[in-house]
Amino acid sequence: MRTSLKIGTIMGIPIKLHITFLLILPVFALVFATNPAPFGFADVPSLGMNYALSLLTTILLFACILLHELGHSYFAKKYGVTIKDITLLLFGGVSSMEEIPRDPSQEFKMALAGPLVSFIIGFALLAMNSIIDSSISGYSDGLIYRMFLILGSINIVLGAFNLLPAFPMDGGRLLRAWYAKRMSYIKATHYAAYFGKMFAFIMGIFGLLANPWLLLIAFFVYIGASEEDKSTTVTVLLERYTVKDIMSDKVVSVSDDISVEELSKFMFENKHMGYPVMKGNSLKGIVTFTDIRNILPHERFAVLVSDVMTRDIISVSSKDVASEAFKVMTLNNIGRVLVIDDGELVGILSRTDLMRTLMLLNE
3-class DSSP string for the chain: CCCEEEEEEECCEEEEEEHHHHHHHHHHHHHHHHCCCCCCCCCCCCHHHHHHHHHHHHHHHHHHHHHHHHHHHHHHHHCCCCEEEEEEECCEEEEEECCCCCCHHHHHHHHHHHHHHHHHHHHHHHHHHHHHHHHCCCHHHCHHHHHHHHHHHHHHHHHHHHCCCCCCCHHHHHHHHHHHCCCCHHHHHHHHHHHHHHHHHHHHHHHHHCCHHHHHHHHHHHHHHHHHHHHHHHHHHHCCCEHHHHCECCCCCEECCCEHHHHHHHHHHHCCCEEEEEECCEEEEEEEHHHHCCCCHHHCCCCEHHHHCECCCCEECCCCEHHHHHHHHHHHCCCEEEEEECCEEEEEEEHHHHHHHHHHHHC
For residue 316, pLDDT over 50 is answered with yes
152 vs 154: CA distance, rounded Å: 6
The percentage of residues in the chain with a pLDDT greater than 90, rounded to a whole number, is 45
> Which CATH number is associated with domain 243-362?
3.10.580.10
Query: In this predicted structure, what is the pLDDT of residue 48?
Result: 87
- Terminal Cα distance for the chain, rounded: 41
Report the predicted TM-score, pTM, of the whole model to 2 decimal places.
0.80
Query: In this predicted structure, what is the pLDDT of residue 91?
Result: 66
The percentage of residues in the chain with a pLDDT greater than 70, rounded to a whole number, is 98
Q: What is the mean pLDDT of the chain?
A: 89
Query: In this predicted structure, what is the pLDDT of residue 150?
Result: 95
For residue 178, pLDDT over 90 is answered with yes
Residues identified as active-site: 69
User: Do the Cβ atoms of 260 and 300 come closer than 8 Å?
Assistant: yes
Alpha-carbon distance values, 12 to 6, 82, 83, 182, 191 (Å): 13, 10, 9, 35, 34
Across 295-314, average pLDDT:
88
For residue 35, pLDDT over 70 is answered with yes
User: Do the Cβ atoms of 121 and 67 come closer than 8 Å?
Assistant: yes
pLDDT digits 0-9 by tens, 245-279: 999 888 888 998 999 999 999 998 888 888 999 88
The overall longest dimension of the chain from CA atoms, in Å, is 85
Domain locations in the chain? Answer: 4-163, 176-238, 243-362
For residue 1, pLDDT over 60 is answered with no
Band (pLDDT 50/70/90 cuts) for residue 93 is confident
For residue 363, pLDDT over 70 is answered with no
For residue 187, pLDDT over 50 is answered with yes
